[in-house]
Structure 1
Amino acid sequence: MDETALRIMQLNAQGYCCSQIMIKLSLEDMGEENIPLVRAMAGLCEGSRCGELCGVAGAAACVLSLYAAKGSDDEQALDCYPIMLSQFMDWFRASATEWGGIRCEDIVAFQGGIKPEVCGNIMLRSRETILGILTENNLDPSLPREHANNF
């Protein structure tokens, strides 16, 4: 088991849901803490608590946005931002056949219930994909946008 898988298990054991774990991992990469953001990410858990889009997929969009979207009046979204979102969602849709779909409700039904190991694997693979997409776009996951050299 690698360090990220262990960290996912620890955060889950501490009561964080999938979307909160995804953003916490990214904040930890940057050496940042943002309690209100982590709290807000709970709104995406379990398909926004109604079984819709998997919270991991929604959180992945938020993670990519953290690095590339507009965040203040004097900022603009990076040109690569919509492409990165599209790349991730294309990957997620293609991979979702393995776990039962892109909706939380479909994943749970396909897996025969909520299974932490399934959700953990989705988080782990999604995180690897996000990190790859960031790297391909010359974005350093360890740097908040405001500290990155290319902004």
Structure 2
Amino acid sequence: MDETALRIMQLAAQGFCCSQIMIKLSLDDMGEENISLVRAMAGLCEGSGTGDLCGVASGAACVLALYSAKGSAEEQALDCAPLLLAQFMDWFKGSATSWGGIRCDDIIAFNGGRKPEVCGNIMVRARETLLGILAEHNIDPSLPKEQAGAR
């Protein structure tokens, strides 16, 4: 078991859902804590509470926005922001056949019920993909957008 899988298991054992775990991993990368953001990410848990889009995918979209989107009136989004999301969602949709779909309810049904190892494996793969996309666009996941732009 690698370090990411272990951290995911620890966070899940603490009661965090997949979308919260995705953002917490990125905050960990940056050495930051943002309780309000993590709390807000709970709104994406279990397909926003309706079984729709998997919280890993919506959480990953938020992670990419954390590194690339506009966050204040003075700030500009990175030009690559839409591309980051498109790349991730293309990967997620393409991979989803192996875990049952892109909707939380479909993933649960396909796998015979809610199973931590299924969601954990999706999170590990999504995390690897996110980090690869960020690297491809020369975005350092250890730096918040404000600091990365100052380079």
Q: 2:114 and 2:58 mapped to 1: Cα distance?
A: 18
Count residues with an aligned counterpart.
151
Distance across 2 between alignment mates of 1:63 and 1:80: 14
- Measure how far apart 1:49 and its partner are: 1.0
The residue aligned with 2:87 is 87
In 2, the alpha carbon distance for the partners of 1:81 and 1:54 equals 21
Question: What does the per-residue CA deviation read over 1:62-92, in whole Å, with 9 as the maximum and x for residues that have no partner?
Answer: 0000000000111111010000100000000
AA paired with 1:67? Y
- 2:13 matched residue in structure 1: 13
CA deviation profile, 1:15-55 (whole Å, cap 9, x unmatched): 00000000000000000000000000000010011100000
Counterparts of 1:114 and 1:49, CA distance in 2: 14
The Cα offsets for residues 83-127 of structure 1, whole Å up to 9 and x where unpaired, read as 010000000000000000000000000001000000000000000
User: Aligned partners of 1:131 and 1:120: how far apart in 2?
Assistant: 16
Q: Distance in 2 between matches of 1:89 and 1:63?
A: 13
Looking at structure 1, the residues matched to 138 and 150 of structure 2 have their Cα atoms a distance apart, in angstroms, of 9
Shift of 1:130: 0.4
Amino acid paired to 2:111: Q
Measure, in 1, the Cα distance between the counterparts of 2:74 and 2:49: 35
Query: Which amino acid in structure 2 is aligned with residue 14 of structure 1?
Result: Q
Query: What residue in structure 1 maps to residue 53 of structure 2?
Result: 53
**Counterpart in the other structure of 1:119:** 119
Q: CA deviation at 1:5?
A: 0.3
- Tell me what 1:97 maps to: 97
Q: Normalising by the residue count of structure 1, what TM-score does the alignment of the two structures yield?
A: 0.98
Cα distance in 1 for partners of 2:149, 2:51 equals 40
Rate the CA distance shift 1:129–1:27 in 2: closer, same or farther, 3 A: same
2: distance between equivalents of 1:6 and 1:41? 21
RMSD, aligned CA: 0.9
Identity across matched positions, percent: 77
Structure 1: 5+ residue stretches without partners:
none
**Cα distance, 1:150 vs structure 2:** 5.6
**Cα distance in 2, alignment partners of residues 5 and 150 from structure 1:** 32
